[in-house]
Amino acid sequence: MPSRNLIQRIDLTHPKYLQTLVENRSVFNLKNCELNVFESYQEAYRVPLTFNDFVITSMVRGKKVMHLFDQPSFDYLPGETVIVPANETMVIDFPEAQALNPTQCIALAVDAGYVNDTLQYLDEYYNSDTDHKHKWKLQFNQYHFANETEVTDLINKLIRVCRGNDRAKNIYADLSLKELLIRLVQSQHLVQVNMELSDHQNHSRLHYVLHYIQQHLTERISMDTLSRKAYLSRNHFFKWFREQFGLTPLDYINRERVKLAKQLLSEPKNTISAVSHQCGFSDLNYFVRLFRKTEGITPGQYRSCILPGGAKA
């Protein structure tokens, strides 16, 4: 199945400049971060890699198999990101790497002081919910995930800045890096709250609102209703929701509906139009456009990838 939100490909190192065929490394240093570009051109197994700083990695091309945190190994593919704390060793396999099919991955190593300053900024400015104050932090129980559009755009921008020659590159990198860290933390916060819904659906207004959305995904969900559920004005509700999770309530609802649609599309008996209706969409064309924007392919193409019989309209 095609991956979505791919990192833009980086020119491969000319063969005469390669220092090794496994994890050949190019480094671009900035004030608060270091961009590493790794390339591998031959099959290899159990290759260790450790950074002294927190690192954000994203696959650009090819396939790796990652062994991390004493957890089961997983395939690491383009369109995906992995975050790793300082001094944690990644053990990596390259089962498909060849001269004509290399792997390429970027790793942004971020200064610890910069990370702490960004988290403190979140604590000071994005913690206005009096019934759900929490310490903003990076969570490594969620370390492997598909790229969201905003994350992909920011990583692409950072790659361009780090590899460029602009005299103000540290300033531009600082702006994008801070936004990238904030979006990662907000995204993790959303996943964590969603995981708690079954046991803490009334624990806070965050849990209450998200639980209401989950229970009514197949229905029309009014923003005025959600505002009332949160005991906030409409404008304050939008601002509060975005501060907590980095996306609007409508973006969240649509994302959850697409997740539900993917589950329903795996059932051969469900037509695409029926799936659209079951997921709360009154307009089939809108559903198809949204699905394609989110997943990079249409519902019919998605079904063709997962079912031998293909799509049913």
Runs of H (alpha helix) within 203-298: 205-215, 223-229, 234-245, 249-265, 272-278, 284-295
Q: CA–CA separation, 261 vs 255, rounded Å?
A: 10
Walk along the chain (313 residues) in steps of 10 and give the mean pLDDT of each run: 75 95 96 96 97 96 96 95 96 97 97 92 69 74 87 94 92 93 87 75 78 90 92 91 88 92 91 93 92 88 77 54
**pLDDT recorded at residue 53:** 96
Domain-by-domain residue ranges, the chain?
15-191, 196-245, 249-306
CATH fold label, 15-191: Jelly Rolls (2.60.120)
CB 5 within 8 A of CB 151: yes
Residues in the chain, overall count: 313
Q: CA–CA separation, 161 vs 293, rounded Å?
A: 26
CA neighbor of 226 nearest in space, from 252, 203, 261, 262? 252
Domain 249-306 - what CATH class?
mainly alpha
pTM over 0.85: no
| Cβ neighbours, 10 Å, residue 153 | 16
**pLDDT recorded at residue 26:** 97
**pLDDT recorded at residue 2:** 46
**pLDDT recorded at residue 177:** 95
Both structure tokens of 96: 């498909």
